[in-house]
Amino acid sequence: MSHAWMPTSPCGDGCVSGTPAEVGKLRQVWRAVTAVTAILCGAMIAVALLLPSKQRESTIRMWFHAVLRAFGVKLEVHGARKFQEIPKRGVLVASNHVSWLDELAIDSVQPIKIVAKKDIKSWPVLGKIITAAGTVYLDREKLRELPQTVHELAASLRNGSAVGIHAEGTTWCGLASGRYKPALFQAALDAGVPVRPIVLRYRIGDHVTTQPAFVGSDTLVDSIRRVLRVKGLVVEVHVLDEIAPGRAENRRELARLAEEQSNRLTSTELEIAPSTGDSHRARTITSLVA
């Protein structure tokens, strides 16, 4: 059952627009076959768990990257090459949320534990991949589970893990973004670790695209088919500066600092194509989770 604090987004079917160049039918089939093959090779994750930590992380990272490339998506990383500035020191990675591809892109940079909505666990094939990466699932409809989730995240952070959250709480189209919800930022405060904001952007050529967005009445299959068709899709992962422990007195202030840092990048460095997404230039103000 939904509640007043449920994260919402105004993005819908009309946000996924435009007619980008498409690859041929044979290329689409090849991508699908390659993606399924790469996913089925996920059994190597079990083998990787037996490797020393450096080799284990490298193997898992390369696997996620291979799956991403199989779908025809090129990865670009801007900024630090890893989310953890100091090895074995916990960090809360706060990102925007656009697509089911987000997790693949993030783990292609550095495999981390992601907090995701519970529905993802039941996704065919992809759900198993994301679960194998150590995902923590959150039922957004059950607020009573939130304190336990925060406690679990804080414990992981204290143990030196990098943990990722989609700070808006739900998907947006990529041309617009939502307010950062403060609840999960409490884990960073409790663990005394920094927050690393990152910005995910999808583009074709020099323009931002909404093609990989997972919004509105889209099913997972619809979105996957659209990605398999599109030509020249690039996902950019912008790794921003850490927000050190102590800079914020409470979770609301910490969420605001992360959001402002991400917005500064968006407004100064990420060019939005003027032909699409004008209706999303204005930010929709939604309720913050207490």
**SS3 state of residue 187:** helix
Task: Report residue 101 as tokens.
Answer: 């591809």
Q: Would you say the C-alpha torsion 202, 203, 207, 209 has a positive or negative sign?
A: negative
How far is the C-alpha of 262 from the C-alpha of 178, rounded, in Å?
11
Choose among 200, 213, 208: nearest CA to 271: 208
Q: What residue segments make up the domains of the chain, in order of their start?
A: 13-280
Q: What ranges in the chain are assigned the alpha helix state H?
A: 25-40, 44-48, 53-70, 101-109, 126-132, 146-158, 186-191, 220-229, 251-268
Q: Contact 71/147 with Cβ under 8 angstroms?
A: no
pTM of the full structure: 0.85
**CATH assignment, 13-280:** 3.40.1130
Helix or strand (DSSP H, E) at 199: strand 195-204
**Token pair belonging to 284:** 């929709």
Measure the CA–CA gap between 114 and 131, rounded to whole angstroms.
Answer: 9
* CA 47/CA 56 separation, integer angstroms: 9
Q: How does 6-40 read in b/e, with b if 16+ C-beta sit within 10 Å?
A: ebebbbeeebbeeebeebeeeebeebbebbeebbe
pLDDT level of residue 95 (50, 70, 90 thresholds): very high
* Per-residue pLDDT tens over the stretch 148-167: 889 989 999 999 999 999 99
**In whole angstroms, what is the distance from residue 249 CA to residue 226 CA?**
43
**Least confident interval from 5-9, 151-155, 242-246:** 5-9
* pLDDT tens-digit readout, 56-89: 788 888 989 999 999 999 999 999 999 998 988 9
Give Cα 114 distance to the centre of its chain.
8
- Written as six digits, the tokens of 70 are 């199989």
pLDDT of 31 above 90: yes
